[in-house]
């Protein structure tokens, strides 16, 4: 408990001294302001805008792989005991998921521009 | 101690190189001189120590140059070489300016008057005004920070997308001088574009003409494309290609072909570079053809396509002397 308190104190002192050094070395207090990169022009519209719907399709396809990885972790622990049958079953499962990816590709989920 | 740190930190400054209208030869020479000194070109104003505008800016672009200048963090230096012969002394001057402590401190104190600072401040002033009005909240949401939101338009699948207007150029690194391409974006895909060419204040004569010049333009375009793809080493090789070193040229060509096959480089860009470097002079590109070339491409591809076609663009050729002169 005491060790934790000392650690917290040290961290706070470190953060504070970094800030103090920054203030001491700064020439002025006001920060330099930055604009979005626009080749010497200023923005005409706010950058707050909708994401392209294609990002959602790509993220759903990513989820297919993500969930399959979740399933593969426990499978990897027991696959040596279960033998060939488990390997075949896993590849059948993967093939089903890949069929979904092939379908998404046919629907144009990866067609970007 | 301070002197040694400053010398070490400014030994090889990073220079943000921008081409002014008609400044193509000065810009190419600047890149070659940077290579000779082992200095790195900066990929953005925020990561640059110095701003170098190659060529003479026309007056309408002065304000744009000031906005760009305000985006460099200090210590910073700025120069506009107008002749190929003045490039080495200009680079020396930039480094001397970075090492001038009194000058840099004065520059820092004057940054309250920066273009960007003034723009952001006036923007928040607008915002405050609308805040005090007894206005409806819808208006607020339509213009956060005093800026309007993009209008919507149906995309190629009929889904409503934001149509965002984003300028490429007039003052952009690795971009043809004087070209301002105002794109309308759906996400990162260009659906429409408007071309504006800014004229140089006075026509600049090319230092050399004829076949050798065409080839130099081709290698310059290849170097720009490789640099945009993040391959600075091959870009330096492409810039160093001389008529007397065919094997270096072959290596760069093979690299470009491989990038095209892998799909990193749009096929149109790969083909036009190959034609320009290996066989013959490709046809010039008019403004309408340029718009057609970039429509339906994403922003990254647009940068590569424009860089690959740069020596063939009508506006570039008009500004820096035609091939037959």
Task: Label the pairing between strands B50-54 and B77-79.
Answer: parallel
Please give, rounded to a whole number of angstroms, the shortest distance from the CA of A29 to a CA of chain B.
10
Q: What is the pLDDT of residues A19-77, one digit of tens each?
A: 999 888 887 777 788 888 888 888 888 766 666 667 778 888 888 788 888 888 999 99
Q: Is the pLDDT of residue B136 over 80?
A: no
3-state secondary structure of B165: strand
Distance, CA of B80 to CA of B177 (rounded, Å): 13
Residue B120 has pLDDT above 90, yes or no: no
CB pairs under 8 A between A and B: 101
Contact flag B71-A48 (C-beta cutoff 8 Å): no
Instruction: Determine, for residues B71 and A113 on separate chains, whether the beta-carbon distance falls below 8 Å.
Output: no
Q: Look at B67 and A43 and tell me if their CB atoms are within 8 Å.
A: no
Q: Which residues touch B287 (CB under 8 Å, ≥6 apart)?
A: B195, B197, B314, B315
B256: nearest Cα among B247, B265, B248? B265
For residues B32 and B38, give the distance between their C-alpha atoms in angstroms, rounded to a whole number: 10
pLDDT of residue B324: 40
Q: At what angle do helices B232-240 and B211-228 cross, to 10 degrees?
A: 170
Q: What is the maximum span of chain A, computed from C-alpha positions, in angstroms?
A: 71
- Closest Cα in chain B, distance from residue A69 (Å): 28
State how far residue B146 is from chain A, nearest Cα, in angstroms.
9
Report pLDDT digits (tens) over B180-238: 999 998 888 899 999 999 988 876 655 554 555 666 788 899 999 999 999 999 999 99
Query: What Rg value do the Cα atoms of chain B yield, rounded?
Result: 22
- d(Cα B320, Cα B205) in Å, to the nearest integer? 6
- Across the interface, of B147, B162, B171, the residue whose CB is closest to A39 is B171
CA dihedral B128, B131, B133, B138 (to 10 degrees): 130
> Which tens digit of pLDDT belongs to each residue from A83-101?
899 999 999 998 988 888 8
Nearest to A28 by CA among B46, B114, B110: B110
Q: pLDDT higher for B147 or B47?
A: B47
User: Is B267 in CB contact (< 8 Å) with chain A?
Assistant: no
Whether residue B109 has a cis bond before it, omega within 30° of 0: no
Q: Which residue of A has its CA nearest to B178?
A: A39
């Amino acid at each position: 408990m005491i060790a934790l308190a000392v650690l917290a104190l040290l961290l706070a002192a470190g953060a504070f001294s970094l800030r103090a050094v920054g203030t001491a070395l700064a020439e002025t207090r006001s920060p330099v302001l930055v604009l979005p990169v626009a080749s010497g022009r200023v923005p005409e519209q706010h950058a707050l805008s909708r994401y392209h719907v294609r990002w959602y399709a790509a993220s759903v396809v990513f989820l297919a792989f993500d969930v399959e990885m979740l399933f593969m972790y426990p499978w990897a622990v027991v696959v040596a005991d279960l033998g060939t049958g488990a390997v075949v079953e896993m590849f059948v499962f993967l093939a089903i998921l890949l069929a979904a990816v092939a379908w998404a590709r046919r629907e144009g989920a990866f067609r970007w521009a | 101690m301070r002197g040694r740190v400053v010398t070490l930190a400014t030994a090889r400054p990073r220079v943000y190189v921008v081409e002014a209208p008609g400044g193509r030869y000065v810009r190419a020479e600047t890149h070659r001189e940077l290579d000779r000194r082992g200095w790195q070109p900066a990929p953005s104003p925020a990561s640059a120590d110095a701003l170098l505008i190659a060529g003479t800016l026309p007056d309408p672009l002065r304000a744009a140059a000031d906005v760009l200048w305000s985006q460099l963090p200090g210590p910073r230096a700025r120069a506009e070489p107008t002749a190929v012969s003045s490039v080495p002394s200009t680079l020396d001057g930039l480094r001397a300016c970075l090492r001038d402590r009194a000058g840099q401190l004065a520059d820092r104190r004057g940054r309250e008057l920066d273009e960007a600072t003034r723009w952001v401040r006036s923007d928040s002033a607008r915002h405050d005004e609308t805040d005090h009005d007894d206005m409806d909240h819808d208006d607020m949401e339509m213009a956060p920070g005093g800026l309007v939101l993009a209008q919507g338009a149906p995309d190629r699948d009929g889904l409503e997308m934001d149509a965002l207007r984003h300028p490429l150029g007039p003052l952009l690194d690795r971009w043809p001088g004087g070209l301002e391409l105002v794109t309308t974006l759906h996400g990162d895909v260009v659906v429409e574009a408007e071309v504006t060419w800014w004229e140089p204040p006075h026509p600049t004569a090319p230092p050399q003409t004829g076949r050798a010049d065409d080839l130099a333009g081709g290698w310059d375009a290849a170097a720009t494309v490789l640099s945009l793809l993040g391959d600075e080493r091959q870009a330096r090789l492409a810039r160093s290609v001389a008529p007397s070193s065919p094997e270096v040229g072959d290596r760069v060509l093979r690299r470009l072909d491989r990038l095209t096959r892998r799909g990193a480089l749009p096929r149109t860009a790969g083909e036009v570079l190959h034609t320009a470097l290996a066989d013959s002079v490709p046809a010039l590109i008019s403004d309408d053809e340029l718009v057609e070339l970039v429509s339906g491409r994403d922003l990254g591809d647009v940068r590569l396509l424009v860089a690959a076609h740069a020596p063939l663009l009508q506006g570039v050729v008009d500004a820096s002397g035609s091939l037959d002169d």
